[in-house]
Amino acid sequence: MRFFFSFNQIKNRASSLAKLAPSSDSLLRRFARPDSVRSRSVKSARRSSPESMAIPPPKSAISTIDNEVGLGRRFWIKFRRESLFAMYTPFTVSLAAGNLKIDTFRHYVAQDFHFLKAFARAYESAEECADDDDAKLAISQLRSDVLEELKMHDSFVQEWGADLAKEVSVNSATVKYTDFLLATASGKVEGVKAPGKLATPFERTKIAAYTLGAMTPCMRLYAFLGKEFLALRENNEESHPYQKWIDNYSSESFEASAVQTEELLDKLSVSLTGEELDVIEKLYHQAMKLEIEFFASQPLDQPTIVPLTKGHNPAEDQLMIFSDFDLTCTVVDSSAILAEIAIVTAPKSDQNQPESQIVRMSSADLRHTWALLSTQYSEEHEQCMESIIPSEQVEFNYERLHNALEQLSEFEKRANNRVIESGVLKGLNLEDIKKAGERLILQDGCTTFFESVVKNENLNAKVHVLSYCWCGDLIRSAFSSGGLHELTVYANEFTFEGSISTGEIVKKVESPIDKARAFKDILANGGKDRKNLTIYIGDSVGDLLCLLEADIGIVVGSSSSPRRVGTQFGVSFIPLYPGVIKKQKEIAEGSSPNWKGSTGILFTVSSWAEIHAFILGW
């Protein structure tokens, strides 16, 4: 069931929309307003309580926050997706795991040698362009830090007894980045005059700012990777073969250099116009993408765990991706959307209804009924959860968890029956539902990931969406508006007389047990002539059984409900990246990675970008 939400929130939203005419486009545009749906609205009592619901700050507050955060830091947050793709390249995963072949590392050091020389030249150009003595001094210090970094590379060369910078040719990805960096430092930026033609010191300072915009993401990315790799070290782990690299980029001194670069970017850009800041943002983003290409271009002659599809043989294998919908794919819950449509389009108490139409509850009665249903669901759900969760943590046992969730399933079905019997779902117009779905905002990266999967003809992959949503038409509209018609949706469905809902629901997926049954049925009907690799992506208690049945179960988001229940039943929740590194280490030991499900281990991620990076890569 997807019903429980803060009734006061729905009431307040509905009252503000009550003046809108039924089927109004203004009502439907309401669902696409970023400031109203960016927060994760409460999905149900099995997920969180009303008090814990995140309320997004007003736009003015967001603007204030943006102004308080420096330019470099703001861009790093905005392009966080790219940092994850860099972290999940085969090269960086093998480096973090410590089983990267030495020849590959040698090649990387040689490429980085050329890269750092370009960095030093770019800093020199930026120093010449800066018109502030403090800025010049800071840039000079950063250039000195790069020269120290080159000395570290010299130490590698001495260990191997070779001049790698001469022995290894520069690859195309390295050339692409260094050409971009040096072109920026020389003023060859689209729409900007070259330094030789610049008339004023201010115009030259812009070039210094642009140059720092192209260099800052590299510094921050390396500091980020160094700290991530350091955090992966286990206390009983033997010496890491690339510990010197990790120590350098995770050090306080390198972090200080990264911060200094960001602060210098802020200083140089303080007087720039909005259009000029946009130029810096584009340069920053381009640099991030070039960094990913740099890591991805390093030649590897060894098996790697990423991307997951690397070892996928479409002629023999089939990739089966399953996903929940509400708050896994969306930023708001579908029940809240259906509630808003029902309340706003409901007739007023004194309004006569045509005899030819399905008789609907008045808006006042509808709000009252929603409140009663919501309160009852909340109270009874918490009682049900308390009754099924063991007081003490037990060893993982799938059957025991399955039996406990059967009780939750019975509760969900009773709650759905109450909603149907109440009549609150009567009279919704199919066109309103579809338009709301078309304007529904999905989680960042969700649509891009699914598009990359289904539109890759060589992948042989299928995507199935399993959802408690009361109305499958809402889901199909949400995906089809983005051109995704290939997804198979398994959800409940409204019944309609013409285009008006009768209030009845065709019950297909109401509970965790229903989801698990649908999951198994899909696999059984998929044929046995191919080897399936199954991935399930979800975020709630209702997804636990499917997550555990899949070869790889991925929990996305920050909801505490699956952890609260799963942990007590012995389920382990492991951040995906450490899990990937562990699998990469297993390859080094000569064993094949085992992704087989039913082990009681689930992987957690914070975003769809991480899922994309892990499964498909850059």
Q: Which amino acid is at 604?
A: T
Which is catalytic among the residues 129, 218, 329, 384? 218
Give 338's Cβ-side CA count (13 Å radius). Answer: 29
Give 569's Cβ-side CA count (13 Å radius). Answer: 27
Q: Which amino acid is at 498?
A: G
Do β-strands 426-429 and 500-506 pair in parallel, antiparallel, or remain unpaired?
A: antiparallel
Give all strands of the β-sheet with 601-605 in edge-to-edge order: 488-490, 461-466, 317-323, 531-538, 552-556, 601-605, 572-575
Measured CA to CA, the distance from residue 501 to residue 149 in angstroms comes to 67
Residue indicated by tokens 């890591």: 295
Query: Phi and psi for 505 in degrees, rounded to 5?
Result: -125, 130
Partners of 603 in beta bridges:
554, 574
Q: Which amino acid is at 364?
A: A
What number of other Cβ atoms are within 10 A of residue 68's Cβ? 9
Measured CA to CA, the distance from residue 134 to residue 460 in angstroms comes to 58
- Scored b (16 or more CB within 10 A) or e, 269-292 reads beebeeebeebbbebbbbbbbbbb
Based on the residue annotation, tell me whether 329 is a catalytic residue of this protein. no
Q: Which amino acid is at 232?
A: L
Helix axes 363-388, 334-345, angle to 10 degrees: 160
User: Is residue 105 within 8 Å of 92, Cβ to Cβ?
Assistant: no
Based on the residue annotation, tell me whether 291 is a catalytic residue of this protein. yes
Structure tokens at 462: 């299928």
User: Is residue 234 within 8 Å of 116, Cβ to Cβ?
Assistant: no
Structure tokens at 406: 């059967």
Partners of 532 in beta bridges:
318
Q: Quick check: bond before 299 cis, omega within 30?
A: no
What is the Cα Rg of the chain in Å? Answer: 28
Query: Secondary structure of the chain: what % helix, strand, coil (to 5)?
Result: 60, 10, 30
Which is catalytic among the residues 291, 340, 412, 549? 291
Angle at 146 between CA 143 and CA 152, to 5 degrees: 155
Structure tokens at 83: 């940092």
| Alpha helices (H) along 270-393 | 274-296, 334-345, 363-388
100: DSSP letter: -
Catalytic residues: 218, 291
